[in-house]
Each structure stands twice: as structure tokens, then as C-alpha cells.
Amino acid sequence: MLKEPTGEIMGNEIDFVGFADDCRVEGKVELDDARLADLLNSRSSIVVHGVTLVSTIDGHRQEFEQLEIERDELDIVVASGPRGDPKRRLATKPNGVAMKLGPYCAEGFMHAPPTANPVRGISHRPAMVAITDAVLEYEFCNEPVSEWFRTLLVNRQMARSLRTVASPGAIQPGLA
């Protein structure tokens, strides 16, 4: 449930853009983990500061000083902030995937060990899973929108479907 908490902003803020079933959430979050994905996966809720909610249904906006948002209210979050420690990265293979999450469709590359099947192994991954070179499609005010993002964090617990695709995304980087 979206609620207005009390508290001070610390100082390591990063941009936050998330997509709930009926709105886009824009603001800042205090990053006290290595990466945004780590923050989202380690907590059941996050506090977003300087929030603007934009309805995807009719475009109206609401502003709040801060909101606490449950992770299970977010279908997708745009990755921002640091990428984490390069020494902790593992060799992976990009696998083309398409996911349906609420009113959104996301296509891109899910990275997994070279011999792993990303679709079958999804239940063993954290709640928020990265998809790179991603195209996000949805409706805004009854008009189709297609946006390209370097990395999206998709909430696998909110996914209605997940399948592999040969060539994900209809939009190439730089064209969106």
C-alpha cells in the first residue's frame, strides 16, 4: 500500500522510476545497498522521496514529499545508480526473453550462466531480475508507448508470462 512515511533523506540519492499497474512512479531513493537491484531485493518496501505519480490511464499527476511503496506493487523499475562491484560479476550468457507484467510487456536480454535456461530457472532468482537492452510497451492515456531502456528490473513475482524469444525488442538503442 502506498503510504506517506516520515523521515529524513540521508545523502546517497539516486533517480527512481517505477511502473505500478496504473501509474508511473518518479522520484529519488536513498541507496544504502551496492545497487538498486540489491535494495529492492533486500526489502519488502522502499521509501521514495520527491514523488510524482503519473496515471497511465488518464495522465493526471499527484505529488508527495515521500511515499513508502511495497515491492509487490511494482511491476518494473528502471535501473539507475551504480552497477555494483565488478569483482562480483559472473560470466553469463544473454538470453532473449519476453515478459508480461500487469499492463506491461518487456522484452530484452536476461543474463544467466551459459548452461542455464532463464525461463526454467526464474523461480530460483531474486524477486527483481534485470533485463538489459529492454523494450517496454504499455498504454498511456489509451495510446501505445514503446520505450527502450539499458536495464529494467522486472518483478518476477508479478510476471503473468515469461518466454524466450530469438530477437527481443523492436526498438534499437538510440532510436527511442
How do residues 40-81 score in pLDDT, each as one tens digit? 999 999 999 999 999 999 999 999 999 999 999 999 999 986
N residues, the chain: 176
Residue 99's CB is within 10 A of a number of other CB atoms, namely 27
The answer to whether residue 96 sits within a structural domain is: yes
pLDDT tier for residue 84 given thresholds of 50, 70 and 90: low
pLDDT at 119 over 60: yes
Indicate if 104 and 66 belong to the same structural domain: no
Indicate if 73 and 90 belong to the same structural domain: no
Cell 545497498 maps to which residue?
Answer: 33
pLDDT at 172 over 50: no
The answer to whether residue 135 sits within a structural domain is: yes
Indicate if 17 and 45 belong to the same structural domain: yes
CB 12 within 8 A of CB 32: yes
Number of domains the chain contains: 2
CB 136 within 8 A of CB 103: no
Cell 531485493 maps to which residue?
Answer: 41
The answer to whether residue 68 sits within a structural domain is: yes
Indicate if 130 and 158 belong to the same structural domain: yes
Task: Provide the CATH number for the domain around residue 59.
Answer: 2.30.30.100
Indicate if 66 and 26 belong to the same structural domain: yes
Nearest to 45 by CA among 76, 69, 19, 77: 69
Nearest to 134 by CA among 89, 97, 92: 97
Q: Which of 43, 61, 78 is the last residue of a domain?
A: 78
Full residue range of the structural domain in which residue 135 is found:
86-164
Q: Which of 60, 78, 96 is the last residue of a domain?
A: 78
Cell 511491476 maps to which residue?
Answer: 75
Q: Which of 57, 78, 99 is the last residue of a domain?
A: 78
Burial of 54 (0-12, 13-18, 19+ CB in 10 A): middle
The answer to whether residue 174 sits within a structural domain is: no
The answer to whether residue 99 sits within a structural domain is: yes
The answer to whether residue 112 sits within a structural domain is: yes
CB 29 within 8 A of CB 47: yes
pLDDT tens track for 33-42: 778 999 999 9
Q: What is the pLDDT of residue 90?
A: 67
The answer to whether residue 8 sits within a structural domain is: no
Indicate if 27 and 68 belong to the same structural domain: yes
